[in-house]
Amino acid sequence: MNEGSGIVSHYAMWHTEPGQFYGLRADMSIWASPNQGTSQESGASLQIYCQDGGNCNLIQVGFHISPSLYHNRDIRFFTYWTKDLKSKGCYNLQCPGFVPASRANLVPGQAMAPPSIYGEQDHYVRLSLNKDPNSGDWVVYRHDLQKPSFLGHFPNKLCPGTRRIQALTGFMNYLKNAHGPPMGSGHFPDYDDKRSAYFKHIQNYNPNGHSSDLLGIPMIKLVDRPDCYRANNLFLEYKNGYMFNYGGPSGCVG
């Protein structure tokens, strides 16, 4: 979501190689950032990069804190898409793109609560983004409720083609020559879910719309500024499935 040369973007992610992929599902821990600057954005998302000829389109869902977008520091559910990574993208319902479902439990831009409490309690949302085998659209569900809630869809034309990269990403954007905000809990990742942001129960979707563990799917770690933000190894945990932790403190420059 780098929207100009004056914006710096950093990532801590695990992603696939390009291939025939159909979507992701994961538990994403929710963390607040009460001291975040007006021009800063931080969050976490499920991302699908879609190769369309010479372009690479992007669709994604997750949560973020973006004072410049909402004029407060609430944690918000968001959607985002861009027709190629060089163009300015579109958040939520700012332009035609993501189509929210009627009676959805979460709508783009809606505040989410409660946040995790460092060292005491983690809170999460379980989201999925996958290609519907019938319509071909990319559907979004929330799964951490009594029953799954259909949140809406990205039309198939926003993510065409058959070669895609899937990513689970902690991210941030801030003004060049300024200091970056915290990522995740604001601490480098360890293996304590009450102190580190995480993606848990990571699953991959097949062409029939069914999800399963990442077993046998090669994944690549990408952390562009490990001096500022980090991700630990992707690992299989008995109760939490495939997962990893990520994050880092505020203060990153450049």
Domain ranges of the chain: 7-253
- As to burial, measured by CB atoms within 10 angstroms (0-12 exposed, 13-18 middle, 19+ buried), residue 67 is middle
pLDDT per position in the chain (254 positions), as tens?
544 568 899 999 999 999 999 999 999 999 999 999 999 999 999 999 998 777 889 999 999 999 999 999 999 999 999 987 666 789 999 999 999 999 999 999 999 989 999 999 999 999 999 999 999 999 999 999 999 999 999 999 999 888 999 999 999 999 998 899 999 999 999 999 999 999 999 999 999 999 999 999 999 999 999 999 999 999 999 999 999 999 999 999 98
How far apart are the C-alpha atoms of 177 and 173, rounded to whole Å?
12
CATH architecture assignment, domain 7-253: Sandwich (2.60)
Q: Which residues are CB-contacts of 95 (< 8 A; sequence separation ≥ 6)?
A: none
How far apart are the C-alpha atoms of 25 and 201, rounded to whole Å?
8
Write the Ramachandran bin of 22: left for phi over 0, alpha for psi from -120 to 50, otherwise beta: alpha
Q: DSSP class of residue 178?
A: S
Q: What is the pTM of this model?
A: 0.95
User: So what's the pLDDT on residue 45?
Assistant: 98
Pairing of strands 90-91, 241-247: unpaired
User: So what's the pLDDT on residue 85?
Assistant: 66
